[in-house]
Amino acid sequence: MRQHEAMETRTTSLFVYGTLLNADLRIRLLGRRVETVPATLVGYARGQKRYFFVVRQEGANTEGALLLDLTESDFGILDDYEELPRLYTRARVTVLDAAGAELECWTYLPTDWAD
């Protein structure tokens, strides 16, 4: 992957692992379909209290999806949905695509409520 492509992936893609896996919810929130590809967040375990969350855990993997080609407006809508900064923060992570290639992207990490 060329450096420009990696930067583009990082800044416009979002790894999701909970309710945002639901395509109907994404359409309702964003007003359009978003292209997705399967992805794995390595070194994080998925949990659920009232909401889904991921936490660092050696040897754990979280399966999910990468939402592609998101706009700044899309991120604003999704940040509001995820109640930033009260419930989650948005952080850069590296995920693996189905072919095992590393891709940089954003994901939502929980604030103190998941401890």
Rounded to two decimals, the pTM is: 0.89
Class of domain 3-114: alpha beta
| Sign of the alpha-carbon dihedral angle for 36, 37, 39, 45 | positive
Convert the pLDDT of each residue in 38-80 to its tens digit: 999 999 999 999 999 999 999 999 999 999 999 999 999 999 9
Confidence grade of residue 10 (pLDDT, cut at 50, 70, 90): very low
SS3 labels along 53-91: EEEEEEEEEEEEEEECCCCHHHHHHHHHHCCCCCCEEEE
- Show me where the domains of the chain are located: 3-114
